[in-house]
A and B are shown apart, each in its own frame.
Chain A
Amino acid sequence: MKTIFFSGPRWIWVLVFAVAFGFARAPLENRLTERLQGAHLLPALPEQQVMDQMRQSVLLGTLGGLRSLISTFLGLKVYNHFADREWEELLETYEIILALEPREEAHWDMASWHLGYNATADMSKNPFLNEFEAEQRRIEFAWQGIRLAERGIEALPESVKIRRRLAGIYESRLKDNCAAADIWGEIAIRRPALFAPFSCLFSGAMSGERTGSL
């Protein structure tokens, strides 16, 4: 046995052992990765569209513990876009942040707030847009905010914070009180204590008697 292992070139045997170990561990690793992803300890791979937007530095940042740091610093970039009122760029940056940290409630909340509130408000004040165009773009951004919040709820089904944001956009930007009341209803199921002082208003909103905000 000893002569077989020690006679030929050593690297061949090293390669054979490495390949055998690779085949043995691959199914175990796949299972463990699935379990870790199921427990949200490992993030799922980002979608292709988002990977296209990621630069090499960001892709490298997803390695070895830098994911959170990169998303924090992309937050600074978002702030610059917000200050410069660059809403499309802000959305692109948020797509990367959300792909890096899809379980971070604050990112979904802030992304939908920026699009649903700030971008819509900015459209109304934009001197370069005529009234019709400004209104079209305002509604478009409100829907982008809504879509982000809905994706956030899909990622974090129990989130009250994102639901509050979503209800707010429906209510204040689209004047859709019915949709807002539905969302408040979902919140009430999850956080009844939040509604105790307003129970009479809430029941009114749910039955359609009240159309204002809660």
Chain B
Amino acid sequence: MNRPLLSPATVWVIGRATVTQLIRMKAFYFIVGFLLLIVCSRAILPPSSPAADLMNLRKAVFGGIDVFAWLFTIIATALLIPKDIEDRTLYTILAKPVRRGEYLLGKLFGVLSFIAMSLVIMFFVASAVIALLEGQYVAEETALMQERGISAEEISSQLEFLKSQGFRWTLALAAFVSFLKASVVAAVTMFLSTFATSSLFSIIVSVVLFLIGHAHSLVSSYYAYQTEDSPFVASISGIMKILIPDYRIFSSSEGIVAGETVTGALMLQTGALAGGYVFVFYLLSLFVFVDKEC
């Protein structure tokens, strides 16, 4: 009897096992690091007006979410396949009627589910801290302005501004964009780990690719100017743009956190691009992994 190319049930089982594996690796502990970041940022950030204070906290916390998401994704993804080989789990899995495509998709699905769960936790923790601080500032400012005899209209306008710098549900979109970036990072790292000889190699190369992918437009524009548009610089820059994912596109979370208006169409296009990256790098991983002697 012919088996389907991809069985959702098999992918689901491997995905669940991957989440369990990550939980056993105590991967959730990195959220403790995030909580420390929140505490430290409150202590280190320069003192300013309540509105600026709220905005600074928002930027620090959501900047932290973004960095934690991509950094953790690289480490978690790079460790998974080599660990399965080391533990001999991979042989047991592939000895069963499991296709390699299902195995890779299950792993990717597991990592992405874990990242999504972590982002949801971090988002709610961050939102709670921002909302609490906002409530505290609103109460303090209201009392202060009433004491000074400021008109009700002016108080309401000042409070509206203060609230606009605090918690907003659109901040969830910033976490979503961080998830999209993490998805692309996961797919690229998984591709690297299908031919890498060690986890360390995958982690280092993936981090380097991430930095290049983020900076190549900035750096190539800088060197093009410095070398007066040299064809050599243009060629190198072109090759990098074609081979390495453009991670800068997935950094719109900063704009969202700063309070810029975001449209559904832009989110959809960014999501579709991230989906395209994940699909292509999954296929490339499969292409390498399909004949790999484990």
Give chain A residues whose Cβ lies under 8 Å from the Cβ of B287.
5, 10, 13-14, 17
Q: Does A85 contact B (CB under 8 A)?
A: no
The answer to whether A39 and B260 have CB atoms under 8 Å apart is yes
Size of the chain A interface, CB-CB below 8 angstroms = 47
A64 to B67 alpha-carbon distance, docked (Å)? 6
B222 contact from A5, A48, A75, Cβ within 8 A: A48
Q: Does B284 contact A (CB under 8 A)?
A: yes
Give chain B residues whose Cβ lies under 8 Å from the Cβ of A69.
59-60, 63-64
Which one of B97-105, B116-124, B263-271 is at the interface? B263-271
Give chain B residues whose Cβ lies under 8 Å from the Cβ of A33.
217, 246, 248-249
The interface bits of chain B over 241-264 (1 if a CB of A lies within 8 angstroms of the residue's CB, else 0) are 111001111011111111011110
Secondary structure dominating the interface of A: helix
The answer to whether A42 and B252 have CB atoms under 8 Å apart is yes
Interface residues on B, range: 35 or more
Q: Does B133 contact A (CB under 8 A)?
A: no
Give chain B residues whose Cβ lies under 8 Å from the Cβ of A22.
241-243
B193 CB, min distance to chain A CBs, angstroms: 14
The interface bits of chain A over 1-34 (1 if a CB of B lies within 8 angstroms of the residue's CB, else 0) are 0000110001001100111011101101100110
The answer to whether A42 and B284 have CB atoms under 8 Å apart is no
Q: Does A155 contact B (CB under 8 A)?
A: no
Those 7 A-B pairs whose CB atoms lie nearest each other, nearest first: A65-B66, A22-B242, A41-B255, A68-B59, A41-B252, A63-B214, A65-B63
Give chain B residues whose Cβ lies under 8 Å from the Cβ of A67.
63, 254
A189 CB, min distance to chain B CBs, angstroms: 18
The answer to whether B63 and A39 have CB atoms under 8 Å apart is no
The answer to whether B222 and A51 have CB atoms under 8 Å apart is yes
A39 to B242 alpha-carbon distance, docked (Å)? 25
The answer to whether A25 and B276 have CB atoms under 8 Å apart is yes
The answer to whether B59 and A21 have CB atoms under 8 Å apart is no
Give chain B residues whose Cβ lies under 8 Å from the Cβ of A48.
222, 225-226
Q: Does B178 contact A (CB under 8 A)?
A: yes
- Which chain B residue shows the least CB distance to A42? B252
B87 CB, min distance to chain A CBs, angstroms: 26
- Most chain A CB within a 10 A radius of its CB, from B255, B270, B276: B255
